[in-house]
Amino acid sequence: MSSAATIARRSTADARPSVERSIRLFGLPIADTTIPQATLWLVQQARQGRTTSVAFLNAHCVNVAYTRPEYRHAMTSMDRVYADGVGVRIAAQWAGIELQDNVNGTDLFPVLCEEAAHAGVGMFFLGASQGIAAAAADRMQARTPGLQIRGTHHGYIADPAAEERAIAQINASGAGILLVAMGVPSQELWIARNRHRIQVPVVIGVGGLFDYYSGRIPRAPAPLRKAGLEWAWRLAQEPRRLARRYLLGNIEFLARLAWLRLTAPAALN
């Protein structure tokens, strides 16, 4: 096992159930925890066959939740929502809460793969464009001894018949964890609409995760991630696609946050 894998396993093993607490931000339930603790809980849920739906909340998600009621409803139906990114951390601080960790899917993913491999829990990757999920699966299996990827499928599901076939493939795989990478809000709406048909215990919406771990898009250097500037790196990689989300979206989020703090601070909770 690599040194990174050893660290991931040790940090996960050191997690304690008492770490997690339930808070609210922007009227949405948040599980305030750490990446090791979240990972341990997710794998335990999968091993015990407990139906669990999971999402992440970042500044973009907050903006969407204020304009798309169906997305907000989908988020409130999740069993766990984790706080992702500097924007949500700022909002928590303004609400008098110091978050324990930045529980984002990109950092959680390799630790989750390590713990799933250790526990013998298989995974299924759904989403991204043709071949990306499969490439991510190959790379993660190469770096994670014992990781079981039970199947992959692209995220461009054109009609109900194709969706039915994809769900049948997922259910037949025997996976314990399904990662859905369709972007916000599509993945959360897809999970909410189809959860009753999916037999995999744990289903997690993971955004653009497979693009990074397939090697299609390089991830931001560690110093930028630590400084909370991964969004700027992503913007530089895909300016046409992400300019509105990050430039206008960040302004919208901060303006909303300032207005709520000024006029209705209780609305932050």
pLDDT in tens, 98-109: 999 999 999 999
Task: Establish if 230 belongs to a structural domain.
Answer: yes
pLDDT tens digits, one per residue of 38-48 = 999 999 999 99
Number of domains in the chain: 2
What single letter denotes the amino acid at residue 18? Answer: S
Contact residues for 101 (Cβ-Cβ < 8 A; gap 6+): 33, 34, 35
Q: Where is pLDDT greater, at 64 or 244?
A: 64
When mean pLDDT is compared across 81-90, 192-201, 224-233, the lowest value belongs to 224-233
- d(Cα 100, Cα 48) in Å, to the nearest integer? 26
Say yes or no: 158 and 52 in one domain: yes
Domain co-membership, 112 together with 244:
no
251/178 same-domain check: no
- Confidence category of residue 138, pLDDT binned at 50, 70, 90: very high
pLDDT at 10: 42
90 inside domain? yes
Neighbours of 17 (CB within 10 A): 10
Q: Which residue has better confidence, 70 or 227?
A: 70
- How confident is the model over 184-197, as a mean pLDDT? 97
> Does 254 map to a domain?
yes
Which backbone phi and psi does 125 adopt, to 5 degrees?
-105, 120
For residue 218, the 8-state DSSP code is P
7 band by pLDDT with thresholds 50, 70 and 90: very low
Do residues 98 and 164 share a domain? yes
Round the average pLDDT of the chain to a whole number and report it. 90
Find how far residue 250's CA is from the centre of its chain.
Answer: 19
Domain membership flag for residue 241: yes
Considering the domain architecture, whether residues 69 and 123 belong to the same structural domain is answered as yes
Alpha helix segments (H runs only) across the chain: 3-13, 35-47, 59-67, 69-76, 86-94, 105-119, 132-143, 160-172, 186-194, 209-213, 222-226, 230-237, 239-243, 249-263
Give the distance from CA 155 to its chain's centroid: 16
| Residue numbers of the domain that contains 255 | 222-261
Statement to judge: residues 179 and 239 lie in one domain? no
Q: Which residues contact 19 (CB under 8 A, 6 or more apart)?
A: 33, 34, 37, 100
221: left (phi over 0), alpha (psi -120 to 50) or beta: beta
Residue 1 maps to a domain: no
Indicate whether 136 and 254 sit together in one domain.
no
What pLDDT is attached to residue 31?
97
Assess whether pLDDT exceeds 90 at residue 219: no
List the structure tokens of 241: 């696609």
Mean pLDDT of 111-135: 97
In order of 14, 15, 39, 130, the CA distances from 147 in angstroms are 21, 21, 15, 22
User: Is residue 6 situated within a structural domain?
Assistant: no
Whether residues 230 and 126 share a domain: the answer is no
Residue 15, classed as helix, strand or coil, is: coil
Residues 206 and 226 placed together within one structural domain of the fold = no
Answer yes or no: do 190 and 255 share one domain: no
229 and 194 within one domain: no
Q: Does residue 80 sit in the same domain as residue 180?
A: yes
Residue 148 lies in a domain: yes
Report yes or no on 266 lying in a domain.
no
pLDDT digits (tens, 9 = 90+) for 39-95: 999 999 999 999 999 999 999 999 999 999 999 999 999 999 999 999 999 999 999
Pairing of strands 202-205, 52-57: parallel
